[in-house]
Structures are given as structure tokens and as C-alpha cells.
Amino acid sequence: MLDKPMTIRKPADRGDALTTTEPTRQTQAERRETAERAILEAAAVIVAERGLEELTLNEAGEAAGYSRALPAHYYGTKSALLEALANHIMAGYVERMRTASMAGEGLERLCNVIEFALDDALANPTPARAYQTIMAAGLNRPELRPTVERITRQGIDDFAALIAQGRAKGEIGADVRPRADASIILASLRGVLFQWLIIPDHVSLSHMRDNLVANVRNSLKA
């Protein structure tokens, strides 16, 4: 696991006491956004550590530091909360990937995305564990299946677009089928994550990452 950096607080300067600023008041929409984010992050921890069955609307609100009734007011049902959680996890991942400003396109970007996904899980396993739990639940929870299917299709589409881009540049073989290979890559990525989450003491995620990237590069290059 990666160590968290130590936060060093500067002692208050005497001048600090002489200058006071009124805190900016949040709008109702901003307060709701803040509360929803806290509830979803609390729900992710519950799902990651104890599973879907242990998650309740009341406990998610309490764990987030809000009233037990607030999640029910926002989401109505546990299924709606889980759908929002899946979307929240994916949105957070996409935002972190955007912030990373990965260079390249085609094959190079595809390999960078794979590396980033596994490094992101290594840095903070909780969202990855909650994500895998929700994806697996899509097999036998009909209310979650549309969300799981949409996220899966989007992942395949994104990888297929990068493969097609690389093929157009001539760096990926013309005989490569973008959607078929994209499906295999997504399945491999999820499988590597699953194994690491189940037996972290026996699986080196960084080693698996390097092997997966090398296999993808070798199997696709022209």
C-alpha cells in the first residue's frame, strides 16, 4: 500500500487573529452536492468492506455525518443509491484520469489507460473494491443490470475507439478487430483487479500491470 503523505500544519501567525473573513455561504445546490458526495463516499466504504447486503440508506447517511433519513430523501431506494454509487465511482475515476493529463493516442494511450487504472486502484483500493462488488452484483440483481451493462459497454467502446485510432495510424495490425479485442482487454483488466483484491498477498499488482500492458502491446502492434 502506498503511504499517505504527512500533513504538516503551520502554527497560526499572530496576524491571523487580526484578519477574519466571513465564510462563503453555499447555495442549496452546493450543499446538496456536498452531502451527496459524502453519502456516496461513505456508501463506497460500506460496500467495499462489508458488501452490498450490509449497505442501508440509514447507515450511509449516518456514516457520512448526516441524518439517517437524508439518503432516502435523495435516492428513495437502496437500488437507486447503488446506481448513483456506481456512477460516482466511474466519474471519480474519469476525473482523476483527466487530471493526470495522459499523453499519446491510439496504442500508446490505450496502454497508458491500463497502467493508470491499476495504479489508481493501488493508490486507493476502496473505490475499486466497491466497483467490483457492484459489477458482480449485476449478474443476479436485475435492478443493477442496466447500470452494469451501460458501464461495461462504455468501457468496451472507449477501448475500441483507441484501438481503431491506432489501426488508422498503422501502429495496430489491420486484422485486429477493435470491439473484440477491447472486450478481451476490459475483461483482463477487471480480472487482474479482482485477483489482487481477493489475494493481495499473492498478487503483485504492479507486476501484473506491466505484464498486461506488455501483452496488449505485443498482441495489437502491427
Which string of DSSP letters, residue by residue, matches 64-114?
Answer: TTS-TTHHHHHHSSHHHHHHHHHHHHHHHHHHHHHHHT----HHHHHHHHH
Residue-wise pLDDT tens digits, 174-202: 999 999 999 999 999 999 999 999 999 99
Give the count of domains, the chain.
Answer: 1
Residue 126, in any domain of the structure:
yes
Are 189 and 114 a contacting pair, CB within 8 Å? Answer: yes
Running DSSP on this structure, what letter comes out for residue 222?
A: -
Can you give the CATH number for the domain in which 201 is found? 1.10.357.10
Question: Whose CA is closest to 141, among 99, 83, 73, 213?
Answer: 83
What's this model's pTM, rounded to 2 decimal places? 0.82
Side-chain-side CA neighbours of 200 within 13 Å: the count stands at: 6
Residue-wise pLDDT tens digits, 110-150: 999 999 999 999 999 999 999 999 999 999 999 999 999 99
Q: Give the CA distances from residue 35 to residues 29, 49, 73, 95, in Å, rounded to whole numbers and listed in that order.
A: 10, 21, 12, 19
Residue 7, in any domain of the structure:
no
pLDDT score recorded for residue 222: 83
pLDDT score recorded for residue 22: 55
pLDDT score recorded for residue 24: 73
Residue 148, in any domain of the structure:
yes
Residue 207, in any domain of the structure:
yes
Give mean pLDDT, residues 55-59: 96
69: domain range? Answer: 29-220
Residue 204, in any domain of the structure:
yes
Which residues pair with residue 221 across a beta bridge? 172
Residue 190, in any domain of the structure:
yes
